[in-house]
């Protein structure tokens, strides 16, 4: 008995070391993590009560949310209402629906404006899309149909893509499309299938095809921005905006590509998009540091390992890979992607990445815009949104 006891004491550190590097042997305590998010949400609600603003970020040195006014100029205003809807989906408490309704309705002035840029999808689909999915409220459906038509006014048939940033035509010397724009195609697909204009389906699919053709390098890595000639639509070049360099692998950009092509495959059932989702995913996974699942903000940043991480990229990717694993026609790949997503969620749910008592956000360590030196190593609303979405997906897929 004594000998066995001694042996286990001797082996314990070995097991601890190897197990801590092998997340595949751990299971995600998804209900515990969802409860944690619910608790953080109620801390935030207390903090922002009566302010009619949305939480955006918390710098590393601070403990309270930096709030943003509700304006079309902030691409992140829809994430907080979206988080509240996911929370309601999980708790099914009427009071959680009430508060989600309150923050969603604050966005209503934005629903009557013309298209500022492609972010309309982030702003109105993460909020109203989830609101309609969970309530079936007709008012929300009309708002989304209207927003989809508005977004489609930015489509340039010559280029075959949406103009992501009208304000930057002069800066880039032409029609510009950013990889983030892939996410906002979802609202167009949704509208085309829920009583809106049928041609929105073709607009979204054309955008996805052209982006697949020009926006990526041979290895499946994407540029942040693709520039096309405004008049004849030919592709001019790919550049960066938020990455380290024009041809480096900006982590969140690649995460948007993974999420975007997974969603486009779900909507079209066209296998070209599934194969492409695999290609962009396999590159991302192959570039992760060994046994680590949260990337540095750019896979090619020059000072790795002394570079900030981007938890938001991990959260977006985890959520996408959970869906991709469900859609896969290849069982081996399905298992690989599910495991990768689980590893990402385990790491994000660790003490290294959760804010816990220190702040009311869910997560720490995201990087918003490194070249601008803004929102570097912060808590940020969209990391929280996609983390929560991934947890809900993980639970629903069990
Ligand atoms: N859509 C802007 C970003 O990913 O930072």
Instruction: For each of the domains in the chain, give its residue range(s) and CATH number, in order of start.
Output: 30-397 (1.50.10.10)
- 119 belongs to the catalytic site: yes
Q: Where are the beta strands (DSSP E) in 25-76?
A: 54-58, 66-68
CA distance 182 to 164: 10
**pLDDT at residue 12 in the model:** 39
CA distance 296 to 60: 16
- Which residue's alpha carbon is nearest to atom 2 within ligand 1? 180
**pLDDT at residue 7 in the model:** 39
Tell me the pLDDT of the chain (398 aa) as tens digits.
334 344 344 443 433 333 334 444 689 999 999 999 999 999 999 999 999 999 999 999 999 999 999 999 999 999 999 999 999 999 999 999 999 999 999 999 999 999 999 999 999 999 999 999 999 999 999 999 999 999 999 999 999 999 999 999 999 999 999 999 999 999 999 999 999 999 999 999 999 999 999 999 999 999 999 999 999 999 999 999 999 999 999 999 999 999 999 999 999 999 999 999 999 999 999 999 999 999 999 999 999 999 999 999 999 999 999 999 999 999 999 999 999 999 999 999 999 999 999 999 999 999 999 999 999 999 999 999 999 999 999 999 98
Q: Quick one: the chain helix, strand, coil %, rounded to 5?
A: 60, 10, 30
Work out which ligand 1 atom sits closest to the CA atom of 122: 1
Q: Is 336 in the pocket of ligand 1 (CB under 6 A)?
A: no
**pLDDT at residue 37 in the model:** 98
Mutation pick for ligand 1 pocket among 74, 75, 370, 380 (CB with most ligand atoms within 8 Å): 75
Q: Is 74 in the pocket of ligand 1 (CB under 6 A)?
A: no
**pLDDT at residue 133 in the model:** 98
**pLDDT at residue 5 in the model:** 41
- Which string of b and e fits 122-136 if b means at least 16 CB within 10 Å? bbbbbbbbbbbebbe
72: which residues sit within 8 A by CB, 6+ positions away? 110, 113, 116, 120, 123
CA distance 328 to 340: 14
- Could you give the angle at the alpha carbon of 90 between the alpha carbons of 85 and 95, nearest 5°? 60
172: which residues sit within 8 A by CB, 6+ positions away? 225, 227, 239
CA distance 266 to 319: 14
What distance in angstroms lies between residue 95's CA and the mean position of ligand 1's atoms? 31
**pLDDT at residue 13 in the model:** 40
Query: Would residue 173 be called left, alpha or beta, if left means φ above 0 and alpha means ψ between -120 and 50 degrees?
Result: left
Q: Is 172 in the pocket of ligand 1 (CB under 6 A)?
A: no
84: which residues sit within 8 A by CB, 6+ positions away? 41, 96, 99, 100, 103, 104
Work out which ligand 1 atom sits closest to the CA atom of 242: 5
Q: Is 192 in the pocket of ligand 1 (CB under 6 A)?
A: no
Q: Is 75 in the pocket of ligand 1 (CB under 6 A)?
A: yes
Q: Is 242 in the pocket of ligand 1 (CB under 6 A)?
A: yes
What distance in angstroms lies between residue 147's CA and the mean position of ligand 1's atoms? 20
**pLDDT at residue 26 in the model:** 83
Tokens of 323: 């869906």
């Amino acid at each position: 008995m004594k000998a066995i006891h001694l042996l286990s004491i001797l082996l314990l550190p070995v097991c601890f070391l190897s197990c801590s590097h092998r997340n595949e042997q751990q299971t995600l305590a998804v209900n515990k993590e969802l409860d944690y998010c619910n608790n953080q949400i109620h801390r935030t609600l207390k903090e922002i009560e009566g302010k009619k603003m949305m939480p955006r970020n918390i710098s590393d040195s601070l403990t309270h949310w930096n709030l943003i006014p509700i304006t079309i100029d902030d691409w992140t205003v829809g994430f907080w209402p979206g988080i509240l809807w996911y929370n309601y989906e999980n708790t099914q408490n009427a009071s959680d629906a009430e508060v989600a309704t309150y923050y969603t309705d604050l966005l209503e002035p934005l629903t009557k404006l013309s298209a500022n840029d492609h972010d309309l999808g982030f702003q109105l689909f993460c909020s109203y899309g989830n609101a309609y999915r969970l309530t079936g409220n007709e008012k929300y459906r009309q708002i989304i149909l209207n927003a989809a038509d508005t977004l489609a006014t930015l489509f340039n048939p010559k280029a075959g893509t949406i103009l992501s940033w009208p304000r930057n035509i002069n800066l880039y010397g032409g029609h510009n499309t950013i990889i983030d724009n892939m996410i906002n195609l979802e609202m167009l697909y949704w509208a085309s299938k829920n009583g809106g204009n049928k041609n929105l389906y073709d607009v979204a699919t054309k955008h996805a095809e052209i982006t697949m053709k020009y926006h990526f390098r041979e290895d499946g890595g994407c540029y942040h921005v693709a520039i096309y000639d405004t008049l004849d639509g030919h592709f001019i070049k790919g550049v960066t905006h938020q990455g380290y360099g024009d041809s480096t692998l900006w982590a969140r950009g690649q995460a948007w590509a993974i999420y975007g092509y997974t969603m486009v495959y779900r909507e079209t059932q066209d296998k070209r998009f599934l194969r492409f989702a695999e290609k962009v995913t396999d590159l991302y996974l192959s570039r992760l540091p060994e046994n680590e699942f949260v990337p540095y903000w750019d896979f090619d940043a020059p000072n790795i390992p002394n570079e900030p991480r981007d938890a938001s990229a991990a959260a977006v990717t985890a959520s996408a890979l959970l869906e991709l694993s469900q859609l896969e026609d290849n069982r081996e790949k399905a298992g690989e992607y599910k495991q990768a997503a689980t590893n990402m969620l385990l790491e994000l749910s660790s003490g290294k990445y959760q804010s816990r008592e220190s702040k009311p956000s869910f997560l720490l360590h995201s990087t918003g815009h490194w070249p601008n030196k803004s929102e570097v190593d912060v808590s940020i609303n969209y990391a929280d949104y996609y983390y929560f979405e991934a947890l809900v997906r993980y639970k629903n897929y069990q």
